[in-house]
Amino acid sequence: MKTEINQIEAKKIKIILADNCTIVRTCISHLVNHHNANIQVIGEALDGWHLLKLVASIKCDIVLLDAIMPGPSTLDIIKNLKSEFPRVPVLISTSYSDMDFIIRCFKAGAKGYFLITGSIEQLIDLINKVHRGETVLPAEVSRKMALQNMGHKSHIELAHEVLSDRELEVMCLMASGKGLSFVAEILCLSPKTISTHRNNVMKKMGWQNNAEMMFYAIRKGLVKEEFPEKEQCLF
């Protein structure tokens, strides 16, 4: 009996969750573990450094990574995991749809993308597909990446690509109305460092104030102009 149980456990898709929100990690872990007997959450990480250490110490099949994590930038985490653990695919989870950022994630090595407002059935389906070796691209991402590969991008569309991964992350957060201190706290960086990133963004993009940054980010779909008071979430 014990041998049979061990064999069943060995066949499960083992996942590590990376999200700095305890409630999100707890809810997703509970829903996944109780909704599908074939999937098991075996570890949870609250920041990028913790995740990298966890993946190095625990054998897993998939990493479910929040789009905005304290510590190293999300794109740096993806690149690091792809380099050090090429057989462990990364799924990105987020509460908003930022096509340019999602494309960067896929180019860095992500294998799937999940909107947290989706259903648990959609998440489980995505996990199974990625575990089978598939790369699951949203239709809009596929179309935009195809256009990019064909060279059909204007100078304006390429404007913010002069930014580093961290600068883009800071820009999106601040353009969505987050204050400097708040951004510093969630990224585990000092306010001075965030201010430096902001100044670099303003200089590279030729902006004079935050209003220009917010207008550009909204126009490009990097942030939403309005955020609903309450979204229908999977938990």
Domain limits, the chain:
2-145, 159-219
Alpha-carbon gap, residue 63 to 51, rounded angstroms = 9
Burial of 197 (0-12, 13-18, 19+ CB in 10 A): buried
Ranges of residues in the chain with a pLDDT under 50 are 1-2, 4-8, 150, 152-156, 226-235
pLDDT at residue 56, rounded to an integer: 95
Name the nearest CA neighbour of 133 among 157, 105, 112, 104. Answer: 112
pLDDT at residue 142, rounded to an integer: 59
Model pLDDT for residues 185-224, shown as the tens digit of each residue: 888 889 999 999 999 999 888 888 777 888 788 777 777 5
Cα 70–chain centre separation: 12
| CATH top class, domain 159-219 | mainly alpha
Q: What is the CA radius of gyration of the chain?
A: 19
Name the nearest CA neighbour of 62 among 10, 119, 17. Answer: 17
Cβ 186 vs Cβ 174: under 8 Å: no
CATH code for 2-145?
3.40.50.2300
Alpha-carbon gap, residue 171 to 37, rounded angstroms = 41
For the beta sheet containing 112-115, the strands, ordered from the edge strand earlier in sequence to the opposite edge, are: 39-45, 13-18, 62-66, 90-94, 112-115
Tokens 């949203």 belong to residue? 138
